[in-house]
Chains A and B, each alone.
Chain A
Amino acid sequence: MYLLDRPEDIPPRLTNRLHVRITIITVVLVAALATVLLRLWSLQVLSGPHYRALANDHGVLDVRVHPPRGEILDDTGKVLVDNRTVMSLELRPSDLPSNGVERGEELRRLGSLLGLSQGAIRRKVRETPQYAGYPVVLRQGLDRRLLFYLLENRDRFPGVSVERTYVRRYQDGSLAAHVLGLVGQISPHQLTRPQYKGLRPGDIIGQAGVEYTYDKFLRGTAGGQRIQVDALGRPRGTLGTRPARAGDNLRLTLNAGVQEVGEAELRAKGLPGAFVAMNVRTGAILGMGSYPTYDPSFYTQPHTRAQYDAFGNRPGDPLVDRADQGGYPTGSAFKPITATAALQDHLISPSTIFDDTGSLDIGGITLHNAGGAANGPVDMSTALKVSSDVYFYNLGLHARASGNGGQIQDWAFKYGLGRKPDIDVPDATAGLIPTPAWRNHVYRSHSNPYIDRRWTQGDNVNLAVGQGDVQVTPLQLARAYAALANGGSLVTPHVGGRIVDVNGRTVKVIKPPAQRHLNLSPETRSVILGGMHRAADEAGGTSYPVMGSFPIPVAGKTGTAQRDGQQDQSWYGVVAPYNDPQIVVTVTVERGGFGVQSAAPIARAILERYFNTRAAGGIDAAAAAAAGPG
């Protein structure tokens, strides 16, 4: 009613101005709507497929399912290395909140769960040896409550995950640690290598020993699970699975019993040393050990960089495998090599006699026998029995040597010395056989202060008795003696026996062929082995005190290497049985004195174990299985 009271409420004629303004508003509105529609068209129709792909990608998480790693067994099937499952708390620093305050807050909460301070966690991350972008294991082995709490509150801890991982378990502590090796995360560099195709950062591979060599079989194949997750990472369903394939098991040629005896003997001696026990005909290694050794389970637990470095730098260099990485002068244990050269190259005949007066004058220097003993006139066989240095000095004096070889040197190379052996554990040393060319080169380049003169024949004399610059590892010596014992076949040593899959089916038999055949005349062989047999069997022989009472006839050679500034190094190399050699054992003990003193007893203990086991039917069956025909 009151509209009537207000005459000024004239219904407005749409004035021009108002009309214009309303039109302006209309035009602006239309333009804005058109823009929006255009954008809609662009997003949905033009770029639709692109966004569809992004959306599909989004809620999908690919989880890698790691298979259990293959077990490592000895030749009887005894488990040496297997796996245990452990729940690990992993931290991916790159997935933590980017906001510093939030990150600190999360670490603080995490720390209070683990009983660590925020700073302790950061320190742990810094100190753990790891590659950028790889997860850091904060704790291995979580109790159930912590485990469930973390699983339920996943979204409150971005970057933190709980994973089931397999960790290596070493059943016998440090037994055969060097041979077995280690596993570790694949490095960024390794990821680029073709042999590791298909692996991802964080995958575990073998990094040393047989774990490394046979990694392809042991690691199996990872599977995958495709999970649908929401924006908080919570699983909403499984989209698909690809099963993992468990790793194949590796059966070694190693015999745990033989290995134990060898390692125990070295440990009891308490001096750094090594031993190798090998099948003479096939190269299958029955035992290979080094002292001091280490417990590989250290590497299976989370450790800081400082701990890692400290572990490796302990006195005595426990990480070095002296069996195939320890190159030493061998002393008289080299003499069979020299003898081979002298006989085969017709330097002398087996019946050549030298008069061992206890010393020899060479170019103004007088060289003595060990202990100054005078052996009188000796032939080759006797010289080996009593280990007459003078006899072999003579050989060294007359043997030719020039350039890159020489009569002794060439035979040494043929025996596999001075060259890297083709064994299936990594990083075996080549050792050194001194030649004129080598010596002169080093002298000229001034790279070694101890090499202060050019090659002279004196160096050849030294070589003949295994002194001077020569370096041989116990593995190389074992191969050389085996070649002598088996009639000239330089076998390829191997620790791996066969690969067996989870179903027990043999996937691969490891039987590498011999590297070469030495042309040894039967006479050479019988003279040298005969001399070595007399050394062990006859009174007056250098190893008679230890091996004389051994029930099985053997052929063995002692070695006592003089070394600068320390006690002599003890060596012993033996093949048994003498008439039909099966096994060769070489032992070396640093600062062990005479060969018969330290090395020989250890070798005897090993042989005892081998033959006892064999008599009981242990090694026999296993050796047959590992060796196959011939």
Chain B
Amino acid sequence: MEAAKPSLTIAPRRPLIERLGLTGIDGVMLGAAVGLIAFSVFTLATSTRNEIAGRPYYFVDRQALYAILGIALMLAISRFDYTRLREVSVTIYALMVGSIAFVFLVGTAVRGSNRWIDLPLFQFEPSELAKVLLCVSLSALVYERVRRPFGLRATVALLAIGLAPAALVFLQPDLGTGIVLVAIALTILFVSGIPWQHFAAIGATAALLAGGAYAAGSAAGVHFLQGYQQDRLTAFLHPSNDPGDASYQVDQSVIAVGSGEEVGRGNDATQTELLFLPERHTDFIYAVIGERFGFIGSSFVLLLYSILFWRAIRVMRMSASFYGTMIAGGVLAMLAFQVLVNVGMNLGVMPVTGITLPLMSYGGSSVLGTFLALGLLQSIHAQARPNGPRPGASVEGGTLSVSLKQGATFGPRGRRKGLGQ
């Protein structure tokens, strides 16, 4: 009798996803994001052909490049341990404030506002990065105080820290980004557990201050908002005929969206084609979609965004660390606020504020910034408490060791430590 030959166990080849270290990726979120950016490239391809004479694919090429870079960035960050950022939160905060301030020194004024820095490949807009950096740094700073009961002083201090970058940005002047930063800060504070009474007090004070300052300022002849900013805010209340007018853009946008009817006008989409709608590849790209692809197309885009939001909320709930919950909250605020305000603006129910549509509007800083934020969400997701059977994980769930182990699995070196498999 022969001893059984030891069978050659050929370990099954690990799937590509595992080899890339991407098993923690939320596929649904990835799918929605890719869907959105692909839609963006497609829309630009069909509608900006005549924008720049002789270069019909100018915008398409660039947006596609940003898309690829962005997706790669997102996947790379998803392998990264976000909790390490807590250590350098102050540095990040300083970096953020610094980059905003830097714009004042070397920035190029475009259309009257100072927010871009010329780089070899594209114009870098620090405020896009600032949104993500704020999510990370403010969450970290708040996290320090999470366990102590919140006193009013603490609240105020955190509020100040959170709103400082917004104030700077307002001075650029960049009303849109400033408002988004405020929304991010407030959401993070909301999630962090500040007593609702504090919130009520903040709200009341803010309203009083704003109203009082505006009234006093008007009486004294000082305008806090620049003329055009004021116009843009109120323009959606009274339509006009002058293409240079702020409300003109809103009118044209509404007409464009409405004229799409159910299935859109395809190449007949002349409203957006014939330059009736200025800024159509940035702020008003949703109107382009509305006219070209009609209700079907527009609501499909909304569906994709809703999926992103849903997944972000899910990440908030299943985050392994409260820090992650707050970051996710901030990112959600950033995405949702921008989407709602921009789409609302395109539909004529929101004032014009220069907020771009994440992943859809053309622009390197915006696309990369959004993918950065999504990467953070993916990172939180990857290290989250398990929600069900996942390859390579035990199903005990909820115990320290497992989650730690999981964290160890996807630790900074990115190498797989044995889980006993």
Contacts and interface: CB of A to CB of B under 8 A. Distances in A.
Interface stretch (A14-22, A296-304, A371-379, A389-397): A14-22
Q: Top 4 closest A-B pairs, CB basis?
A: A51-B258, A48-B261, A55-B259, A230-B274
Contact of B298 (A9, A10, A44): A44
Contact of A32 (B294, B317, B340): B340
Interface stretch (B167-175, B207-215, B404-412): B404-412
A55 B291 CA distance: 10
B275 A36 contact: no
Chain B residues touching A, majority SS: helix
B257 interface: yes
A102 B24 CA distance: 58
Nearest to A98: B242
Contacts, number: 151
Interface string A13-49: 0100110011001100100110111011101110111
A49 B255 contact: no
A39 B329 CA distance: 27
A1 B258 contact: no
Interface string B264-301: 01000011001110100000000000110011001100
Given A32-B340, A45-B261, 17 more contacts: A18-B191, A18-B325, A25-B187, A26-B313, A36-B347, A36-B349, A37-B302, A40-B257, A40-B299, A44-B258, A44-B260, A44-B294, A48-B259, A49-B261, A55-B256, A59-B274, A231-B276
Contacts of A50: 258
B309 interface: yes
Interface of A: 1-4, 8-12, 14, 17-18, 21-22, 25-26, 29, 32-33, 35-37, 39-41, 43-45, 47-52, 54-56, 58-59, 97-99, 102, 228-232, 236
B262 A29 contact: no
Chain A residues touching B, majority SS: helix
A14 B332 contact: no
A51 B254 contact: yes
B14 interface: no
Contact of A51 (B255, B270, B295, B306): B255
Contact of B243 (A9, A10, A36, A231): A231
Nearest to B260: A44
Contacts of B258: 43-44, 47-48, 50-52, 54-55
A39 B347 contact: yes
Contacts of B274: 58-59, 228-231, 236
A52 B259 contact: yes
Given A3-B404, A17-B193, A18-B191, A44 B262 contact: yes
Contacts of A43: 254, 257-258, 290, 347-348
Interface of B: 83-84, 147, 187, 190-191, 193, 242-244, 252, 254-262, 265, 270-271, 274-276, 278, 290-291, 294-295, 298-299, 302, 306, 309, 313, 316-317, 319-322, 325, 329, 332, 336, 340, 343-344, 347-349, 385, 398, 400, 403-404, 407-408, 411-412
A14 B299 CA distance: 33
Nearest to B248: A231
A40 B295 contact: yes
A51 B309 CA distance: 31
B255 A12 contact: no
Contacts of A59: 270-271, 274, 276
Contact of B147 (A3, A8, A102): A8
25 contacts: A2-B84, A3-B407, A3-B408, A8-B147, A10-B400, A11-B320, A22-B316, A25-B332, A32-B336, A32-B340, A36-B343, A37-B299, A39-B347, A43-B257, A43-B258, A43-B290, A45-B261, A59-B270, A59-B271, A97-B242, A230-B274, A230-B275, A230-B276, A232-B243, A236-B274
A229 B275 CA distance: 10
Contacts of B332: 25
Contact of A11 (B84, B290, B321): B321
B275 A40 contact: no
Nearest to B190: A21
Contact of B295 (A12, A45, A236): A45
Nearest to A7: B400
B52 to A, nearest CB: 15
B270 A12 contact: no
Contacts of A39: 344, 347, 349
A47 B256 CA distance: 12
Residue from A9, A11, A18, A52 whose CB has the most chain B CB atoms within 10 Å: A11
Residue from A14, A37, A55 whose CB has the most chain B CB atoms within 10 Å: A55
A11 B343 CA distance: 36
A47 B299 CA distance: 16
Contact of B317 (A14, A45, A47, A231): A14
Contacts of B412: 1
Contact of B309 (A4, A10, A29, A58): A29
B257 to A, nearest CB: 5
A10 B348 CA distance: 46
A36 B259 contact: no
A149 B39 CA distance: 42
Contacts of A37: 299, 302
Given A52-B261, A59-B274, A230-B275, A40 B190 contact: no
Contacts of A4: 404
Residue from A32, A35, A97 whose CB has the most chain B CB atoms within 10 Å: A32
